[in-house]
């Protein structure tokens, strides 16, 4: 199982210097990929609960958010081997023709290290701010992915759909990775899972309880088979916060991926047994030095480290 981490592109730690420090330390430790999130607004009176936390409140860190593509470009410029990924770009925030060029540029500048995670967006306030229709998110997402693939494919490019149209054109700039960088989709409702199984290289869930992750992972692999695709080539990339300390945590009360090194090592082994191809660690420390120390401790807890 691969080990990756989230860059500090959100919150008060989101500075150019901190991006570089985390990126370079993660690369030195052998982490696989640097991932960044995508936030547009922190509503004062949100109309949609945050789906990850029990109380529906977004973390305070989300009040500050760097653009994910620019943050990854900066990190890629200061590293050589570690891959860079979006977890996730919210499809309704973007036009696929423009985004295709931005992502192709990032793949070229990074030497073919880009991984593309996409989501459907969930915040009514953010969807309103970008003029997106919540009711058409699914249909628009289907076309959106096809436009990306067309833009990254052979010239001349042409696309005619319900939401997007591209006149026959030469694009020229293409990603280094062929036919295109790997695409991962987030989403939990049946339609999103079917879309993921039909078109994506993998699924990128966040913070699901392990039993739910197991259940949905099995369901998704069956959907991949039903779509006539190979489930062995389909990857689950799981993201969750962690905390590795010196003392053992109470097993009856602790959150998965928290506790001492032995407990976290057991949780990582459990994820591997559930078929997770990659765990993406979300550091929660308040200082950059503590973030770096946490990445060191987590790396040493990896079962095959």
Q: Tokens 């191809």 correspond to what residue?
A: 277
**143-156: average pLDDT:** 98
All structural domains of the chain with their residue ranges: 2-301
Q: How confident is the model at residue 52 (pLDDT cuts 50, 70, 90)?
A: confident
Distance CA 95, CA 25 (A): 34
Question: Of 40, 66, 43, which is closest to residue 56 (Cα–Cα)?
Answer: 43
pLDDT of 305 > 70? The answer is no
Locus of tokens 């030195």: 28
- pLDDT tens per residue across span 178-233: 999 999 999 999 999 999 999 999 999 999 999 999 999 999 999 999 999 999 99
CATH 3.20.20.30 fits 2-301, yes or no: yes
Q: Is the peptide bond before 179 cis (omega within 30 degrees of 0)?
A: yes
Max intra-chain CA distance, the chain = 62
Q: Work out the number of other CB atoms within 10 angstroms of the CB of residue 163.
A: 15
What is the structure's pLDDT at 42? 96
SS3 197: helix
Question: What secondary structure letter does DSSP report for 42?
Answer: -
pTM of the model: 0.96
* 95 pLDDT more than 90: yes
């Amino acid at each position: 199982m691969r080990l990756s981490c989230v860059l500090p592109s959100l919150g008060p730690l989101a500075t150019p210097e901190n991006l570089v420090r985390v990126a370079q330390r993660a690369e030195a430790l052998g982490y696989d990929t640097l991932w960044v999130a995508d936030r547009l607004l922190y509503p004062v009176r949100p109309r949609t609960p945050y789906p990850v936390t029990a109380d529906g409140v977004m973390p305070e860190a989300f009040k500050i958010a760097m653009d994910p593509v620019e943050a990854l470009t900066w990190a890629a410029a200061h590293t050589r081997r570690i891959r860079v990924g979006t977890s996730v770009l919210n499809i309704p925030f973007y036009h696929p023709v423009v985004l295709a060029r931005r992502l192709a540029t990032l793949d070229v500048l990074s030497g073919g290290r880009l991984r593309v995670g996409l989501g459907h967006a969930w915040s009514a306030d953010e969807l309103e701010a970008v003029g997106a229709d919540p009711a058409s998110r699914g249909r628009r997402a289907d076309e959106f992915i096809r436009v990306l693939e067309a833009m990254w494919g052979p010239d001349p490019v042409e696309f005619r759909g319900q939401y997007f149209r591209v006149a026959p054109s030469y694009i020229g700039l293409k990603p280094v990775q062929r036919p295109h960088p790997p695409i991962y989709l987030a989403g939990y409702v049946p339609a999103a899972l079917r879309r993921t199984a039909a078109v994506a290289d993998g699924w990128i869930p966040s913070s699901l309880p392990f039993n739910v992750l197991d259940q949905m992972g099995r369901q998704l692999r069956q959907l991949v088979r039903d779509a006539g695709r190979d489930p062995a080539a389909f990857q689950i990339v799981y993201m969750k916060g962690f905390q590795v300390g010196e003392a053992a945590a109470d097993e009856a009360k602790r959150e998965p991926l928290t506790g001492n090194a032995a407990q976290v090592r057991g949780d990582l082994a459990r994820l591997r047994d559930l078929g997770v191809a990659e765990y993406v660690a979300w550091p929660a420390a308040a200082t950059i030095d503590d973030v770096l120390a946490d990445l060191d401790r987590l790396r040493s807890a990896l079962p095959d480290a």
